[in-house]
Amino acid sequence: MTLRYGFGSGLATRAGDAPGHVRAIGDRGPNIKVRDLISQYGLNQLTPLLSVSGAKIMPRPDIGPTLAELRVEGNVVTLVRMVPLTTASGHPVSGLANPGSEDLMSEPVFDLAGAPIAADPDGLDTEGLVALSDGGFWVGDEFGPSLVRLDADGMVIRRLLPRTSGTSLPADVPADLLPIAAKRQLNRGFEALTISADERWLFLAFQSPLAHPDEEAHEQARHVRLWRMDADTGRVAAQYAYPLDPPGSFARDCALGTFERRDIKVSELLWVGPDTLLVLERGSATTKIYRCALAPEAVLADGHLDAASRPTLEELSAADEPVFPVLAKTLVFTSDDFPELGADMEGMALLSPTELLLVSDNDFGVTGATTQFWRVRLATPLGARA
């Protein structure tokens, strides 16, 4: 197994930076599914772990979340520097799963010998990225799920988490996120993140429908929750329902085999103007980019933010015709029209009003994938940051 750093989980540009200067982040670190490790590397002694739901193998748990500075010039992407994430006490941030609770599913993790690796309450699975004008960052985390504020050197200075029954969150740590966030499906927390030009509003989306009240609801739901959040207080000012495309419309994924609703993900958001977002919706092979206007009439009732409310948004979402308002979306790009575009596109940044930079998640090379960057030129300007 040849490991390669990956910086395809999230991309961001910072106002005032030179053209082509891009920030990036990789996810938790090298991890691989048990069945892939057995089939590709012959570790048949791990066969008993196939029965452990959601099990992952971490061959190098010492390699954790890392920021990167990139320079894009023509068809060349240069790695300027890497910045490993650290805790407030100066220790490296691990990519180990957080402890689970009765309200929060946690991923079981093992080493190459099949021995369990202890959970880490400070561990992060970093995904979405925002680069702030003060030099710091916001990062979306799939584990907590949580939002993480970093300083310019990659040190965690704040983490917004939901407090739930049985949570491992220390009593002296404020619970800044609504409890309903903990209903995320396993490994499907906050993946998509962006911010308004004045840095007042964070926009974030769950990767998939919540498992609320159960996993069946997650698998049947047709909409993903998208939040408009006050960046200072963590208060959700508005919640929207983003409608996922039908599975059959992901042509390249369907050509590869069975492709179901639960395989569709929202992997990136990009702010392109007042109350206007780009949304990266994908399978594995097919990547679609939609433009969404966050119209006031699309705001969901506050009751859908209450974890105790029944029926849940996800249960209602399974119906052919939703009984709640949904976001309207306009297709900007689909890789089904451009077969040369690679798979597993997760990061997206605006290089100019008519140019997007896309990047693939290589999963640290555990199955041989390499990072790919793609420049997408559009006929119609998207709008530049103010």
Q: Mean pLDDT across the stretch 332-344?
A: 95
Residue with tokens 């916001």, as numbered in its chain: 138
Confirm if 314 and 218 have CB atoms less than 8 A apart. yes
Confirm if 281 and 245 have CB atoms less than 8 A apart. yes
Residue 384 has pLDDT above 50, yes or no: no
Return the pLDDT at 366.
Answer: 96
Confirm if 206 and 225 have CB atoms less than 8 A apart. yes
Torsion of the alpha carbons at 365, 366, 367 and 372, rounded to the nearest 10: -20
Contacts of 129 (CB under 8 A, 6+ apart): 9, 10, 11, 12, 23, 24, 25, 67, 137, 138, 139, 140, 193, 347
Q: How far is CA 73 from CA 22, 186, 189, 373, in A?
A: 11, 38, 33, 12
In this prediction the pTM is 0.95
Q: Looking at per-residue confidence, does 238 or 16 come out higher?
A: 238
- The CA distance from 60 to 72, in Å, is 30
From the list 262, 235, 236, the residue with the least C-alpha distance to 247 is: 262
Residue 164 has pLDDT above 90, yes or no: no
Please provide the distance, in angstroms rounded to a whole number, between the alpha carbons at the two ends of the chain: 45
Q: How far is CA 311 from CA 297, 301, 308, 317, 323, in A?
A: 21, 13, 9, 10, 12
267 secondary structure, DSSP code: E
Residue 165 has pLDDT above 90, yes or no: no
Q: Per residue in 341-369, pLDDT tens? A: 999 999 999 999 999 999 999 999 999 99
Q: Per residue in 64-102, pLDDT tens? A: 999 999 999 999 999 999 999 999 999 999 999 999 877
| Structural domains in the chain, sorted by start | 10-377 (2.115.10)
Q: Per residue in 102-112, pLDDT tens? A: 778 899 999 99
Return the pLDDT at 175.
Answer: 54
Return the pLDDT at 18.
Answer: 93
